[in-house]
Amino acid sequence: MSGHSNWSEWVYIGVVVALLAWVGAEAWNIERLVEHVPEDAKVIKVTGQQWFWTFEHEDGTKETGELHVKKGVPYKLEITAKDVIHSFNIPEYLVLMDAVPGRINTVWFLPVDEGEFPIQCREYCGLIHYNMRGTLYVEDGA
């Protein structure tokens, strides 16, 4: 298996490898930035089950199907599930993390805009997976 004597193919492979290295480096850097959880992030426990989401704030307040947060405050979501794998997703905030029974997955985000944002499930979980929805309410914090 020899015979790579063609310079054009080597240049091509060099360009491809350089591009891929750039992709990898950029992705690594942005992921590093995005995964760094701020120390003062407030914890919210998120639990998925067939077929709805429940939330528990730091102060013990519980919510079902709706999540109320304050604008400008970073939140750390600790996500788990009670039965099968679900996936907690707020598409407009690019929050996406599997809810796996038996473990807790963490993701943080910063609500920047006020308003109502849909929450959906992003892992097939059975009959009502398609309608396992909720709403995020971002309110102006005082």
Partner 1 sequence: MWRMGLDGKTFDNFPSYENENGESDMVLELQKPRPIWQIMFSTHHTDIGLLYIISSLAFLFMGGVLALVIRVEMFSPGPQFIADSMTYNRIFTVHGTNMIFLFILPFASGVGNYFVPIMVRYKDMAYPKLNAIAFWMIPPAAALIWLGFADFGWYAQPPYSAISAPGPAAEMWIFGLKILGVSSILGAINFVVTILKCKHPDLPLSKVPLLAWSFLSSSLIVLVAIPTFAAALLMLLTDRLGVTGFFNPTMGGDPIAYSHLFWFTFHPEVYVLVIPAIGMMYEIIPRFSRKPIFSHSSGMFAFILLSIVSFASWAHHMYATGMSFTEKTVFMVGTLAAVPASAMHVFNFLATMWGGRAKYSTPMMWSIGGIALFFSAGAGGVVNTAMPLDFITHDSYWVVGHFHLFVFGTIAFGSFGFLYYMFPFITGRMYNELWGKVHFVLIFIGAVLVFFTQHILGLYGMPRRVFDYPEIPEWIAMNQIQAVGAVLLGVGMTIFLVNLIYSSAKGKEANMEDPFGLGGKYYYPYQAKNPHHD
Partner 2 sequence: MRNIIGLFMVLSILVILPTVQIVFAAGDEAGEYIDRRVEIWNLFFRMMTVAFVVGAVVSGTLIWLIWRFRESNPKATPTKYEGTGELDR
Contacts with partner 1 by CB under 8 A lie at 1-4, 6, 8-9, 12-13, 16-17, 20, 23-24, 26-28, 30-32, 34-35, 50, 83-85, 87, 89, 91-92, 94-98, 100-103, 105-106, 118, 120-131, 133
| Identity of the residue, 17 or 61, whose beta carbon is nearer to partner 1 in the bound complex | 17
| Binds partner 2 (CB under 8 A): choice among 7, 36, 127, 142 | 36
CA–CA distance, 7 with 66 (Å, rounded to integer): 60
Residues in the chain: 142
Binding flag, residue 28, partner 2 (CB under 8 A): no
Residue 21 burial (CB count, 10 A): 10
> Which residues lie across from 99 on neighbouring strands?
86
Per the omega criterion (within 30 degrees of 0), is the bond before 51 cis?
Answer: yes
CA–CA distance, 97 with 79 (Å, rounded to integer): 8
| Identity of the residue, 19 or 128, whose beta carbon is nearer to partner 2 in the bound complex | 19
How far, in whole angstroms, is CA 98 from its chain's centroid?
8
Each residue 73-112 as x (binds partner 2 by CB under 8 A) or -, in order, gives -x-----------------xxxx-------------xx-x
> Which residues lie across from 70 on neighbouring strands?
139
CB of 62 to partner 2, least distance (A): 26
